[in-house]
Amino acid sequence: MSEVQLEKLLIDPPAEFAAQANAKADLYEKAAADRLAFWADEAENLDWFKKWDKVLDDSNPPFFKWFVGGKINACYNCVDRHVKTWRRNKAAIIFEGEPGDSQVLTYDQLYGEVQKFANVLKSLGVQKGDRVTIYMPMIPEAVIAMLACARIGAPHSVVFGGFSSDALRDRINDAKAKLVITADGGWRRGKVVPLKANTDKALEEAPTVEKVIVVKRVGDAAQINWVEGRDLWYHELMAKADRHCEPEQCDAEDMLFILYTSGTTGKPKGILHTTGGYLTQANMTMRYVFDIKDTDVYWCTADIGWITGHSYVVYGPLSAGATVVLYEGGPDYPDKDRFWAIIEKYRVNIFYTAPTAIRTFMKWGLEYVQRHDLSSLRLLGTVGEPINPEAWMWYYKHIGGERCPIMDTWWQTETGAHMVSPLPGITPLRPGTATLPLPGIEVDVVDENGEPAKEGYLVVKSPWPSMMRTIFGGDECYVNQYWSRFNGKYYFTGDGAKRDDLNYIWVTGRVDDVLNVSGHRIGTAEVESALVECQEVAEAAVIGKKHEVKGEAIVAFVILKEGVQPSDELVNKLKKHVAAKLGAFCRPDDIIFTAELPKTRSGKIMRRLLRDIAEGRAIGDTTTLADPGVMAELKEKYASKEE
């Protein structure tokens, strides 16, 4: 089927699914009739120490508050309350290590571990409000660490294990973290990720950190240094820790975590989330969008270093009492069927992954899929970037066996939880679109002036419970980045979008200088500043070029300093530098040396034209260029490079 036809396709919800679905069609009406009452009802699904006085405080926009006056603890909601029910002996976490080791933690066991670790944190002087950085592989201790922080009201800042030591250092320093939790290493494609060594390096320039807790994961496979007085083994601390630790009674608006993400500036922003509203929406979407049932085994493949890992590996599913699969390693280790092997092994019912992964699986071929019995699956999800209709169809047919609804969920680090998504059993599905805003969520497509449009910018028109509250240490930046574009009226997502004949929303991708490479957000400015740090580089302009598997690939146009000769060695050196500075996933695919960059008369680089060159298109309007001749030279350069 061609892409054009796929885009018109409509798949009705199967009656059997609809009959058992958690979400009922009247949710939309209910939310439309009284939005705040709807959210208050959803918040009732959590356990509160004290109920809120007010659902929404909008007296100081855009600094909104939800469930004001309420007292709650996120860890209590993810663990303690389940232990009081029959779920006590239910599996909370099914862990699969990359080398093939596995471990099951019941809710009761998780309860014990989390309390012990909360006591460890307290004994090291961590108090309510102190920030803790977590730099770990995908192992149960990472979840235990997050929940233990939440238990004592210490906000965590999880830094993805794929980030470099420099990136880790910057994030530790911005958060002024008191303590770092890491591991000796983690397994990735049969190799050790040197987490402890990276931490050591980061801490050379991170004065606020007093202690480092190290989980022994890879043992002899990693040679690590030990700083006496600073470094402490997790297992030694845990052996001595008491199993009882009362959860802190947090305010609904107490900070739960900071999570750094890329924006349009050279510096990552610490997105700040609070407790009550965040947990309400993470929990609600777990029940309605993912239709979670007590009998389900649920697997989200995201790393806990990203928001998807926060909301849909930890807080959403555990607050719903679900059984969560946690997998440490890569999809192609030891072979390209690893994901399907895991689904078969644990009889996974609900599976959530990214379009870039799906496109990779398509490329690898069906033989890996067909080795395994995937009949346990009943619902699929996707997130991170627009999914092309072909990939959607492949996922639907070959992974879901044409029986599983696909939830294409649009949301962001900033939104905290799903915003635009079908509801399974209710919304007719169409390949490539996240369809409609969820009940209680007011998302729209508007033009430059904020007027509703068929095509334009994606905005959120009213506050929602799991919205970011600010940028850590950057209230002004929060207002400028998200609220100034539409004069304080709407939240600006940074995404472009269209509406189709059914009013379904098609997110077309970022309209700002943020790239989406394999579902990872990377600011062009971050890569550019890493490049100009190199002594050979005078100037750099970075763009995203369409890529079949990654969505976008990084292309850098670089002007060298006087007297520096371009060479293949230099290309490699610069690529390596960016990877070391930011993390391997930020490594540019192409670096092109040039004498000039296309700039307007006011000196602004016209990235649009650079993209035309990189994607081999006819070059767009160059009339505003200071020197239109630049383009011919660049085009020639790029063409000769491609040969």
Chosen residue from 71, 287, 510, 550 binding ligand WTA by CB under 6 A: 510
Q: Which residue has the tokens 């650079």?
A: 610
Sheet holding 470-471, edge to edge: 231-233, 211-215, 179-183, 132-135, 156-158, 255-261, 269-274, 470-471
- Nearest to ligand WTA by Cβ — which residue? 413
Q: Judged by CB under 6 A, does residue 493 bind ligand WTA?
A: yes
Nearer to ligand WTA, 186 or 381 (CB): 381
User: Least CB distance from residue 69 to ligand WTA, whole Å?
Assistant: 30
Q: By the 8 A CB rule, do 528 and 594 touch?
A: no
User: Could you tell me the smallest distance in angstroms from the CB atom of residue 501 to ligand WTA?
Assistant: 19
**Closer residue to ligand WTA, CB minimum distance, 13 or 263:** 263
Stretch that binds ligand WTA, among 77-85, 289-297, 313-321, 493-501 (CB under 6 A): 493-501
Which amino acid appears at position 568 of this protein? D
Closest listed residue to residue 385, CA positions, set 362, 354, 415: 354
Q: Kindly list the distances between the CA atom of residue 369 and the CA atoms of 372, 405, 464, 598, in Å, as whole numbers in the listed order.
A: 6, 18, 39, 46
CB of 147 to ligand WTA, least distance (A): 21
Secondary structure letter of residue 399 according to DSSP: I
Q: Report CA-CA distances (Å) from 195 to 126, 182, 199, 431.
A: 22, 7, 6, 39
Stretch that binds ligand WTA, among 156-164, 223-231, 490-498, 619-627 (CB under 6 A): 490-498
Q: Are 455 and 44 in contact (CB under 8 A)?
A: no
Q: Does 492 bind ligand WTA (CB under 6 A)?
A: no
| 142 contributes a contact to ligand WTA by CB under 6 A | no
Can you tell me the distance from the alpha carbon of 149 to that of 143, in angstroms, rounded to the nearest whole number?
10
Q: How far apart are CA 324 and CA 219, in angstroms?
A: 26
Is there a contact between 447 and 242 (Cβ–Cβ < 8 Å)? no
Are 46 and 448 spatial neighbours (Cβ–Cβ below 8 Å)? no
Instruction: In angstroms, give the least distance from the CB of 188 to ligand WTA.
Output: 20
Binding mask 541-580 for ligand WTA (x = CB under 6 A): ----------------------------------------
**Least distance CB 6 / ligand WTA (angstroms):** 16
The correct pick among 307, 362, 419, 555 for binding ligand WTA (CB under 6 A) is 307
Q: Please, what is the minimum distance in Å from the beta carbon of residue 563 to ligand WTA?
A: 41
Q: How many residues does the chain have?
A: 643
By CB under 6 A, the count of residues binding ligand WTA is 23
Residue 179 in contact with residue 155, Cβ under 8 Å? no
- Candidates 122, 378, 521, 611; binder of ligand WTA (CB under 6 A) is 521
Q: Which is nearer to ligand WTA, 96 or 385 (CB)?
A: 385
Of 400-429, binders to ligand WTA (CB under 6 A) are: 408-413
From the list 276-284, 399-407, 502-510, 537-545, the region that binds ligand WTA by CB under 6 A is 502-510
d(CA 434, CA 425): 15
Judged by CB under 6 A, the residue of 106, 164, 301, 308 near ligand WTA is 308
| 365 to 404: interface string for ligand WTA, x by CB under 6 A | ------------------xxxx------------------
Is 507 a binding residue for ligand WTA by CB under 6 A? The answer is yes
386 or 523: whose CB is closer to ligand WTA?
Answer: 386
Out of 268, 400, 494, 588, name the contact with ligand WTA by CB under 6 A: 494
The conformational region for residue 521 under phi > 0 = left, psi -120 to 50 = alpha, else beta, is beta
Q: How far apart are CA 302 and CA 311, in angstroms?
A: 10
The answer to whether the CB of 340 falls within 8 A of the CB of 369 is: yes
Shortest distance, position 349 Cβ to ligand WTA, whole Å: 21
The least distance separating ligand WTA from the CB of residue 624, rounded to whole angstroms, comes to: 27
* Residues 6+ away with beta carbon under 8 Å from 569: none
Residues near ligand WTA (CB under 6 A)? 261, 306-308, 383-386, 408-413, 434, 493-495, 507, 509-510, 516, 521
